[in-house]
Amino acid sequence: MGATILSKAAPEGIMSWIEAVCPSCEAVECRSVDFGLWVCDDTSASFYSFVCPRCGANLQKHATDRIVELLIAEGIRPAFWHLPAEMREEHTGPPLTVDDVLDAIILLDRPDWFTELTRATR
């Protein structure tokens, strides 16, 4: 379960309380100022965070469109961000291995590393 807004309406100027779920403490009530909200242009990457008032755990959870609406309605100001363009690129070939990374480190120690790298990628 993510965040749910309590049905208690807070009078204007009074801080509202938001019910959230901590994996250790289960349902807890947090102040709205204890939440952070990050909304991405790719909605699958939006998230919110809060600190559990009981155990102090710093928690981060996926924010669905509905959660984003509810948190904004409670006065939480979102930060907007974009996924890097590289996340949308098509990647071909096998994934890098530890040996590939070690070979790259060794190559970067050579004075002709750039020439060697461009020759290897042609």
Domain boundaries, the chain: 1-81, 94-122
Mean pLDDT of 28-36: 91
Residue 9 has pLDDT above 90, yes or no: no
Is the pLDDT confidence value at 56 over 80? yes
Model confidence pLDDT, tens digit, residues 110-119: 999 999 888 8
pTM of the model: 0.65
Q: Which residues contact 87 (CB under 8 A, 6 or more apart)?
A: 42
* pLDDT of residue 31 exceeding 80: yes
What's the mean pLDDT when you consider all of the chain? 86
